[in-house]
Chains A and B, each alone.
Chain A
Amino acid sequence: MEQKIRVLVAKPGLDGHDRGAKVLARAFMDAGMEVIYTGIRRTPEQIAEVAVQEDVDVVALSCLSGAHNTLFPKVVDLLRGKGADDILIMGGGVIPEDDISFLKQHGISEVFGPGTPLATCVNYIRSHVKKEA
């Protein structure tokens, strides 16, 4: 048996700044993970549906427009509505400290700001992905 961690790197919202998302996608690939990238300007509905279809272990959300408080919790709710509550959801972008606790209360398991080392994100996934028995 060969289990691979599958990650959806997703950009909700309207901003086109995908440097971080793409760098992360490459880092995840280099760490041996299978990465599905959504491209920019995706709706929470699209992201949740793709996450389920692709049976990913992780959804990594990136938003730099400031719309994270609106969009991230929506993705969480939609995934729960589809019964996919075993997916680890993490977020990143230009996110003020004050919003981090709000996002965590709304189901985002961890928030990574600018300057987070890639290894931190990779290790976080490795130690937090819920692999079924």
Chain B
Amino acid sequence: MFDKESVGRLKAARSKWQQGADKIPAGKTCKAYADCTTSSGIDVKLLYTPEDVGEMDYMRDLGFPGEYPYTRGSQATMYRGRLWTMRQYAGFATVEESNRRYKYLLNQGQTGLSIAFDLPTQLGMDADHPLSEGEVGKVGVSVSSLADLEVLFDGIPLDQVSTSMTINAPAAVLMAMYIALARRKGISADKLNGTIQNDVLKEYSARGTYIYPPAPSMRIINDIFAYCSKEVPNWNTISISGYHMREAGCTAVQEVAFTLADGIAYVEAAVKAGLDVDSFATRVSFFFNAHNNLLEEVAKFRAARRMWARIMKERFHAQNPKSLMLRFHTQTAGCTLTSQQPDNNVVRVTLQALAAVLGGTQSLHTNSRDEAVSLPSEDSVRIALRTQQIIGYESGVADTVDPLAGSYFVESMTDDIEEEALKYIAKIDELGGAVKAIERGFIQKEIQNSSYQYQLEIESGKKVIVGVNKFQIQDKPAKNLMRIDSALYEKRHKELAAMKGRRDATKVEAALAQVKAVAGSDANLMPAIIDAVDAYATLGEVCDVLRSVFGEYQPDASF
């Protein structure tokens, strides 16, 4: 970036300055020289200068936005062309209530939907499953069949919104329902826009909503890739997620490393299954966390983009520029929200959202202040959305592309994160890839060690959390919290029974038998699943059939 001669001159000048700055009275220690590191344990120096980016080659390492290696952004004009998609993750209780919340959010200027499903749905169990008691509608909306999806999207034009669904192990079934619903509304599948999370590897390592063992899970994902690349070409068929690993306690470096390692595993599996890399890689998207350390986070996003471009080009020889582009959704870090002085969370979320925008996110969810104690209230959700709008329309940070580029510190940190993350990826490669690393508990163990370390630093006061271990006050209990009625379980029980009474039982049976047959063969599962859900086979019924063929994943205890 800078020629050797000027860096040399600078070095001399800097060391002279340092001697001046170092004049500390005898017997005193200076706090400014105490160790300072980021969450990832990367040293942060007192001062950064061109010395720290002397090796950088602008065209090789940064380039222009929308061009390889995409460090500066995945699109040429970034937010000058269009702001990021403001996409608030929402969904709770019944399909009717969630439908109302979606319409409210669209009316408030939100530009995309993000569906939160409850845990039974995420685990491929119907609302009337015995284990669903107490869980129905709690962390998201309860969807057990196409009949539920019809109500959930009532009055919402599927060809005009983009819909993101946080669904993983049963992603194929929910995707099938969405396609079947569109078909019934006369909308062809190629008009559909959206994302399914469909990232099962991080379920094993961090989030816990897995169903089948890794091998059949990867097969289902390949089937979705293959089917959608032809039939639903505008759909993002996977959102490879570092978010939950970060929530589970890993560092920024680990988040990048483990996410990209998962990405490598998916691409490898799909290529091995015979798919052309450019046929699906253009629809691969990512999902990251935005944590508290503003500049480390910005550097993290930039490093991830550059790394993925290089991986796709050098490792997988992808040709289509879109295959090289790391496009990502960001959510602010739920684990940083405190139940103490909850209004402070608005400030945390603002800083985290700013990091995501400065890091070039394609879409963003901002958490609500009350989420450390409950589901967010409508007021809190509005403040969270307004936070994004203020950043987008008032702060000016969206006016120019990648405004922090060229900062000695940010560029140096971007390099450091890439370097450290590559070490992890090499280690995972050595273990035989992400699937093997997960089976051996390597990734889980790394995450747990980091999370324990983080907690110990809070306990010792080394890490300050405002309102928690410093600046505490006696809090008043939070009021006006959102509550979900536990009687929902019974209500859903009745609804499901009624739906099952209305449907054509023989048709359902035949369709499920077909799913089973296909599951045991090499054929693509998607058409059979679409037929089954179209006949109103339930989510639980389809997943049970697959369980009978694929078995269930048995986790290991890793500490």
Contacts and interface: CB of A to CB of B under 8 A. Distances in A.
Interface of A: 13-19, 22-23, 25-27, 37, 39-41, 43, 65-67, 69-71, 94-98, 113-115, 117-119
A119 B139 contact: no
Contacts of A23: 249, 448, 451-452, 455
B139 A66 contact: yes
Contact of B134 (A71, A95, A98): A71
B196 interface: no
11 contacts: A18-B208, A19-B248, A19-B249, A23-B448, A26-B448, A26-B452, A40-B555, A67-B135, A67-B138, A115-B372, A115-B468
A118 B484 contact: no
A82 B45 CA distance: 60
Contact of A17 (B208, B373, B559): B208
Interface string B165-194: 000000000000000000000000000000
Contacts of A70: 133-134, 486
B134 A25 contact: no
Interface of B: 119-120, 122-123, 131-135, 138-139, 203, 206-210, 247-249, 335, 337-340, 371-375, 448, 451-452, 455, 458-459, 465, 468-469, 477-478, 481, 483-484, 486, 555, 557, 559
Nearest to B250: A19
A41 B343 CA distance: 32
B459 A118 contact: yes
A29 B364 CA distance: 39
Main secondary structure of the interface of A (DSSP, over half): loop
Contacts of B555: 39-40
Contact of B459 (A13, A41, A117): A117
Candidate in A16, A41, A65, A69 with the most chain B CB atoms within 10 angstroms = A16
A40 B478 CA distance: 29
Contacts of B134: 13, 67, 69-71
A67 B469 CA distance: 29
A71 B486 CA distance: 11
Contact of A22 (B138, B338, B373, B448): B448
Contacts of A19: 247-249, 335, 451
Given A22-B448, A65-B138, A96-B478, A14 B119 contact: yes
B339 A14 contact: no
Candidate in A18, A66, A70 with the most chain B CB atoms within 10 angstroms = A66
Nearest to B340: A115
B156 to A, nearest CB: 26
Contacts of A119: 459
B131 A43 contact: yes
Nearest to B465: A115
Candidate in A23, A27, A67 with the most chain B CB atoms within 10 angstroms = A67
A66 B477 contact: no
A16 B209 CA distance: 6
A77 B371 CA distance: 30
Given A23-B455, A94-B374, A97-B373, A15 B339 contact: no
Nearest to A35: B559
Given A114-B338, A115-B465, A118-B455, A65 B135 contact: yes
A96 B374 contact: yes
Given A16-B210, A19-B335, A97-B373, 9 more contacts: A17-B247, A22-B452, A23-B451, A43-B131, A97-B477, A98-B477, A113-B373, A114-B339, A117-B458
B373 A95 contact: yes
A14 B489 CA distance: 15
Given A23-B452, A39-B555, A113-B339, A14 B373 contact: no
Candidate in B131, B374, B375 with the most chain A CB atoms within 10 angstroms = B374
Contact of B373 (A15, A43, A71, A94): A94
A115 B339 contact: yes
Given A15-B208, A94-B372, A22 B486 contact: no
Given A15-B208, A19-B335, A25-B559, A98 B135 contact: no
B208 A65 contact: no
A96 B373 contact: yes
A99 to B, nearest CB: 9
Candidate in A18, A26, A43, A115 with the most chain B CB atoms within 10 angstroms = A115
Candidate in B139, B375, B484 with the most chain A CB atoms within 10 angstroms = B139
B477 to A, nearest CB: 4
Contact of B451 (A22, A41, A98): A22
Nearest to B467: A115
Candidate in A14, A94, A97 with the most chain B CB atoms within 10 angstroms = A14
Candidate in B132, B209, B247, B337 with the most chain A CB atoms within 10 angstroms = B209
Contacts of A94: 371-374
A69 B486 contact: yes
A71 B140 CA distance: 18
A10 B521 CA distance: 39
A16 B339 contact: no
A22 to B, nearest CB: 6
Contacts of B337: 114
Nearest to B337: A114
Given A18-B208, A117-B469, A13 B373 contact: no
Q: Which 7 A-B pairs have the closest CB atoms?
A: A16-B208, A70-B134, A67-B134, A97-B477, A14-B119, A66-B138, A115-B468
B135 A41 contact: no
Contacts of A117: 458-459, 469
A17 B335 CA distance: 11
Given A22-B559, A114-B338, A40 B208 contact: yes
